[in-house]
Amino acid sequence: MKPLRGDPRDTRPLGVRVYEQLRDEIVSGGLEADSPLVQEQLAERLGVSRTPLRDALNRLAHEDLVTWVPGSGYLVNALKPSDISEVYQVRQSLETVALRLACGRHDRAQLARLLALIEDMAASDPLDAVAQFELNRAFHMSLIEPCGNALLLRMIDTLWDHPVNRRITSSYVADAANVPLMTSEHRAIFEAARAGDEERLVRLATEHMYAGYQKTLPEDTHIELRPRPGSEGLR
């Protein structure tokens, strides 16, 4: 972990920058599950005082990325199956509503943007989890942009910020073969959106989300991720 270096253009509080670096270390696996986070050592390695470090650790604990254990300090949490299923269920429900509202409303510029994002993903490093996360997020947010509901878009965008999504992406793209698959699925989703085929769009997007989240679960884990019949979203 490299010390944080001051950037005069970055006016964010130091605690935010410490949080993001620790979050990215956890998401990427640089800080493995059950690893102890010794504050004195982290402060020295990051080149910061204890105050911004405590702020960052408190935020990580609030997001369930670390846990405070009395007498032991903070420990990095493992990604639990319930974390995956809960995020999937909320995202699937909200995005289905947004997809139904957006379908048939994509203009030429929006369709061109979606196609460009697909090509960018195809050309990018399949093992670059940060780039793949941002491209995937941009595609899905662009897909629902025409829905016309600003509150819904803000809710979904906030959900994308949940650290669990970054950890899921990092786990998914650890297998380089998954990115071409994801790109192919994005192309099919794009074609459904371009055709204005609402039912096909929702079905393909739901299957795409389900496959990505399910693939990150341990093989012996059996959690029902698929939406129940009739709960696929509002029409």
pLDDT mean values, one per 10 residues, the chain (235 residues): 60 86 85 90 90 92 90 87 88 96 98 98 90 94 98 96 83 85 96 98 94 79 58 41
pLDDT in the model for residue 234: 36
pLDDT digit string (tens) for 157-167?
A: 999 988 888 88
State the burial class of residue 78 (Cβ atoms within 10 Å of its Cβ: 0-12, 13-18, 19+).
exposed
Report the C-alpha gap between 133 and 171 in whole angstroms.
11
Please state the length of the chain: 235
pLDDT in the model for residue 226: 63
Single pTM value for the model: 0.79
Report the C-alpha gap between 168 and 90 in whole angstroms.
15
Q: Which residues contact 132 (CB under 8 A, 6 or more apart)?
A: 121, 124, 126, 169, 173, 179, 182
Helices 14-28, 50-62: crossing angle, 10 deg rounding: 50
231 in Cβ contact with 98 (< 8 Å)? no
pLDDT in the model for residue 235: 34
pLDDT in the model for residue 225: 65
pLDDT in the model for residue 166: 84
pLDDT digit string (tens) for 182-230?
A: 999 999 999 999 999 999 999 999 999 988 888 877 776 666 666 544 4
Q: For residue 57, which of 29, 79, 31 has the smallest C-alpha distance?
A: 31
pLDDT in the model for residue 134: 93
pLDDT in the model for residue 223: 60
